[in-house]
Structure 1
Amino acid sequence: MSDDVRDQPGGGEENQIIVMNGNDPVFFWQPSTQQALRALSEAPLRGADGELSDTPLLAHAEGRRFLSYVVTCALPEGDVLKDAAGTVSFHGAVGLASEWSSGALRDVASQRWVTACLLQTLNKLGMEVEVLMTGRHRSLGERPDASASDYTTPDATMFGNLFHADGAVAFSCTDTEVSTTCDIDLSQHMAQRLCDQSPTCGVTPLGPCDRSCTDVDGHPSCRSPEGDRYAEAISTYVHSTLSLGLPMECSP
């Protein structure tokens, strides 16, 4: 019997999709993990026999869990890769870089989309929390799901490039309306999910999103402190039940 290593995504509408969050930031940012990820991007994800391309990450449980998020973000729903032994399965879900299945991940936009998705899977407590991902990429909104309407609490916007030749870059910003109206530290309020301000998360926080991002046709377009523009940004929302601890006037 094979083991499934997978997130359990739901669906979305109008460029949104529900994905399980719970990626361990400590393991995520280990130099060996990031080096293995970059090496993996130099070849197709799918090997000659349909298996996941060989990588040191397959050798242990933490690496296989990390790979599950990589495949979830990169490949579309229905794509399944197994390890060489055929005992572990990795399931696609979002489909932000479907071309990676058959070739190296060279396209910068695809690198950035996969990065934004992987950053949004980080959870500083290692807990699994469903998040609604939104963005302008067409693959974020291919499967309607009525439950998406329950994800109303703004979380964070993340962007960057883990595959950058000069080293990984990762940025986040928080929703301006909630943080200013409620005068709270969102990283404390939603400790079950947020991984944009914790030092262990390896992401550079940029404060409220209106400082670094603008709305373009309903989706964020963000700028790094160095001035690089990222249209490949993903915003997230968490389920309304996670906002029950907010004061009445702060609840969405």
Structure 2
Amino acid sequence: MTKSPLLALAIAAAASLVQLGCAVLPEDAAEEPVDADEQAAIMGNGLTFNALTFNGLTFNALTFNALTFNGLTLNGSAMAALSDPLGRQKLSAIVACALPRGEAIRLNVDGVDHAFEGSVGLAPEWGKPGGACGESCKSWVSACVISRVNYLGQSVRISVRGKDRALTSTREEREGYTKREGAYFGDIFATPQKHYACVAPGASQIPRVCGPSIRDCSAIEVLGACDDVCGHELSDGAFDRCRDRSGKMQTGAVTVFLAP
């Protein structure tokens, strides 16, 4: 089994199963492949609410003091979390957001080999020996993972943008994905987890994430219009300086654009 601080904290983040009654993807549903010449921030998404809020163990079961590269051991609770397809689904989203394309975490769970592939690269240092995920890392990875939630658990291609160089968009990406949906941010590493969204100007719903109505977003709290929630707009249309329910400004915020 790969021993890495990213794996340990990601499993801890993948911490209590909250039954929300949403659709669940088939076990280990694969993301759509992305051509090598496409921007890494264009990705498939099919993370369900149940996987987003999945908690197979608590931080106390896998303490930060044990999260050293050479000293990581996974107890029965941690392995049980990865035995559940929801745990693997969430870990897959975390690794995809944190690591760049070409890097992966490979695990054998219950005798079956699994590869959790990197894609966006918001926290590449986290997967290195001795690497750690500080507050900025947690904020960006959280925003990216939350943005991948899909109400029906279906894979839909999205363009994710934000004030991080890993989310820099190409002209082709901006021209192909012009429908601004909203912004996402929060903290999936907190107890309890915090999942926030705001809707793009002129919109009142985010059906990809919430279904027919934002009132259905039981796992994500929609705070209102992004013009009101976020204090700045980047040149590519992404929102920045977004504030959570308490008014705290979030380091990481990911804005999603869809194809028209």
- Shorter-chain TM band: 0.7 to 0.9
Shift in Å, 1:157:
0.1
- Secondary structure of the 2:44 match is strand
Per-residue CA deviations over 1:176-234 (Å, capped at 9, x if unaligned) read 1x32xxxxx423xxx3x233935455111111111110225434211123121113100
Alignment of 1:20-169 (within 5 A): 20-30=44-54, 32-33=55-56, 35=58, 39=62, 43=67, 55-84=79-108, 87-102=113-128, 103=130, 105-141=132-168, 144=170, 146-164=172-190, 167-169=192-194
Per-residue CA deviations over 1:131-176 (Å, capped at 9, x if unaligned) read 100001111238x583552111111101111223x53222110001
- Secondary structure of the 1:186 match is coil
Alignment coverage as a number of residue pairs: 217
- The CA distance in 2 between the partners of 1:124 and 1:211, in whole Å, is 25
Match of 1:210 in 2: 227
Could you tell me the percent identity over the aligned residues? 25
Match of 1:245 in 2: none
CA spacing shift, 1:82–1:111, aligned 2, 3 Å? same
Match of 1:171 in 2: 196
- Which amino acid is the alignment partner of residue 113 of structure 1? W
- Which amino acid is the alignment partner of residue 160 of structure 1? G
- Structure 1 residue ranges (4+ consecutive) displaced by more than 4 angstroms after TM superposition: 38-42, 44-48
- TM-score, normalising length: structure 1: 0.73
- The CA distance in 2 between the partners of 1:40 and 1:74, in whole Å, is 21
| Runs of 5+ consecutive residues of structure 2 not aligned to the other structure | 1-27, 73-77
- The CA distance in 2 between the partners of 1:45 and 1:77, in whole Å, is 21
CA spacing shift, 1:217–1:131, aligned 2, 3 Å? closer
- Secondary structure of the 2:210 match is coil
- Which amino acid is the alignment partner of residue 61 of structure 1? P
Shift in Å, 1:61:
2.6
Match of 1:194 in 2: 209
Match of 2:245 in 1: 225
| Runs of 5+ consecutive residues of structure 1 not aligned to the other structure | 49-53, 180-184, 241-252
- Which amino acid is the alignment partner of residue 222 of structure 1? C
Alignment RMSD (CA, Å): 3.3
- The CA distance in 1 between the partners of 2:234 and 2:180, in whole Å, is 18
